[in-house]
Amino acid sequence: MLFEECPTRSFTRASIQNNAPECSGVYGLSNNREWVYIGITDNIRAHLIAHLVEVGTIVSVRRPTGFRFEPCAALSRTARHDRLVREFAPYVNGRS
């Protein structure tokens, strides 16, 4: 499933546990106004849970309410990440 085809899921622990895989890929966090952040990881589920419990970070301050993901191999995920960042222009990635 491509990132664009993945439905936005609720950014809650239960939704992450039920919907996010424990595999390599890219993921995005959004709120009602904007894409907040797009990241890459070896474990999508673990990284989303880590973001969920963050306090005082630039990501947490933007109050994400939803997430999407796309499983992809470690060798291709950086290129995919870069394309998604260009396409969606997330707030945090633009500050890096």
| 61 backbone dihedrals φ, ψ, rounded to 5° | -65, -30
Which pLDDT score is estimated for 80?
96
pLDDT along the chain (96 residues), means of 10: 87 98 97 97 98 95 97 96 95 84
Query: Cα(41)–Cα(59) distance, rounded to whole angstroms?
Result: 16
Residue 9: partners with Cβ closer than 8 Å, 6 or more residues away? 15, 16, 19, 20, 66, 67, 68
The range of the structural domain enclosing residue 86 comes to 3-95
Question: Which CATH number characterizes residue 19's domain?
Answer: 3.40.1440.10
Query: Cα(6)–Cα(17) distance, rounded to whole angstroms?
Result: 16
Which pLDDT score is estimated for 96?
59
Helix (H) or strand (E) holding 9: strand 9-10
What are the Cα distances from residue 58, in Å, to 24, 54, 82? Answer: 23, 9, 20
pTM, full prediction = 0.94
Query: Cα(19)–Cα(89) distance, rounded to whole angstroms?
Result: 24
Q: How many domains does the chain have?
A: 1
